[in-house]
């Protein structure tokens, strides 16, 4: 977005916001591009203690060309909008680039999955949901879909063996033709004019029920295969079991308890249902508060926000999870050792 008003060739639109260079503005102003709902902060702000160490921004690293590059410069040159370093519960370094600042919101995209899983752990801890049950036991509308034959744990681990596949680049893919418009996170000719009563697929929940089928070549639980629709099922489960819209469940059980500095924003789909797979928008410091809480086994500032047992289980990797990752050749060269409960787990032994 260049100029006031922006020039036509730099104008961000629903059709181009996810493509560079428009994405540089759009990802830090997603509330202007997407439909969003507010997730209010509450109570006293829990400050992030320092002291800051400005020398961190000047630390040098190999630049891959035989030279050195500074820590902050490395992030800025690779199109990051901000970087924050926390150690031992203290904020050591904070830097912002490209007109981003400590009050700016930034879209999380698939980090949202991990947050939704964290609050889902509250329902598990309360005994309100069984991980070995099918989602259909709680959402009968999913009967006949690809989610009928799987367990909720397989949904959490992306081993649900469904036929629908992620494809972010092919304009003729089912992902971009049907799923992304239902999410209200992509635009295709005519999509914005579709009315609920006339549409076979309007919102994401319609898509899950009518479009997602089982992959006959795969058995549930046999292999990891990343698929965003699993998180949509998780969000629906939270709403159905708790009796609250997802944004309210997140607000009451998480955002109001983190001492956040700012309200969060949560993108909503075409039916105005929160996008559990990638809709969260927060400031960088508030994202850090969430990360610090997970690092401390669900505790933040002396309060147990997410059950420690759920965090421990999420970050524990066993041979089954490793085998699921290894069973999919697409991920053979990646640094992950496993994926569990909507979290990527790094191989700690690899450094």
Segment 193-225, tens digit of pLDDT: 555 666 666 789 999 998 899 999 999 999 999
- The reply to whether 265 falls in a domain is yes
- The reply to whether 93 falls in a domain is no
- The reply to whether 320 falls in a domain is yes
The CATH number assigned to the domain holding 135 equals 3.40.710.10
List of the chain residues with pLDDT < 50: 192, 351
Cis amide leading into 51 (omega within 30): yes
| pLDDT attached to residue 167 | 79
| pLDDT attached to residue 188 | 60
Neighbours of 102 (CB within 10 A): 14
- The reply to whether 325 falls in a domain is yes
- The reply to whether 64 falls in a domain is no
For 5-33, write each residue's pLDDT tens digit: 888 888 898 888 888 999 999 999 999 99
- The reply to whether 311 falls in a domain is yes
- The reply to whether 151 falls in a domain is yes
Domain that holds residue 219: 106-350
- The reply to whether 32 falls in a domain is no
| pLDDT attached to residue 349 | 65
Measured CA to CA, the distance from residue 302 to residue 44 in angstroms comes to: 14
How many structural domains comprise the chain? 1
């Amino acid at each position: 977005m260049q100029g006031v008003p922006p020039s036509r060739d730099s104008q961000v639109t629903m059709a181009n916001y996810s493509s560079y260079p428009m994405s540089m503005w759009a990802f830090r102003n997603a509330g202007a591009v997407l439909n969003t709902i507010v997730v209010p902060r509450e109570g006293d702000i829990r400050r992030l203690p320092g002291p800051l160490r400005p020398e961190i921004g000047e630390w040098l690293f190999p630049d891959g060309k035989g030279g050195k590059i500074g820590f902050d410069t490395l992030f800025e040159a690779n199109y990051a909008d901000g970087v924050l370093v926390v150690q031992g519960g203290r904020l050591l370094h904070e830097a912002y680039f490209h007109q981003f600042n400590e009050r700016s919101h930034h879209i999380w995209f698939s980090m949202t999955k991990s947050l939704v899983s964290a609050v889902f752990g509250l329902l598990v801890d309360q005994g309100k949901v069984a991980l070995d049950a099918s989602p259909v036991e709680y959402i009968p509308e999913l009967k006949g879909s690809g989610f009928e034959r799987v367990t909720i744990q397989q949904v959490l681990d992306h081993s649900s063996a469904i036929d629908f596949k992620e494809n972010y680049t092919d304009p003729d893919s089912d992902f971009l033709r049907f799923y992304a418009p239902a999410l209200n996170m992509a635009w295709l000719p005519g999509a914005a004019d579709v009315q609920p009563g006339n549409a076979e697929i309007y919102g994401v929940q319609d898509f899950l029920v009518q479009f997602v089928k089982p992959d006959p070549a795969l058995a549930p639980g046999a292999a990891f295969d990343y698929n965003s629709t699993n998180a949509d099922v998780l969000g629906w489960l939270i709403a159905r079991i708790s009796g609250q819209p997802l944004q309210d469940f997140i607000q009451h059980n998480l955002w109001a308890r983190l001492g956040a500095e700012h309200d969060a924003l949560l993108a909503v789909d075409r039916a105005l249902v929160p996008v559990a797979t990638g809709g969260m928008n927060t400031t960088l410091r508030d994202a850090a508060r969430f990360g610090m809480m997970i690092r401390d086994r669900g505790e933040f500032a002396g309060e147990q926000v997410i059950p420690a047992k759920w965090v421990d289980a999420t970050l524990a990797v066993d041979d089954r999870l490793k085998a699921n990752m290894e069973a999919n050749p697409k991920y053979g060269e990646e640094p992950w050792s496993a994926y569990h409960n909507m979290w990527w787990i790094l191989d700690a032994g690899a450094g």
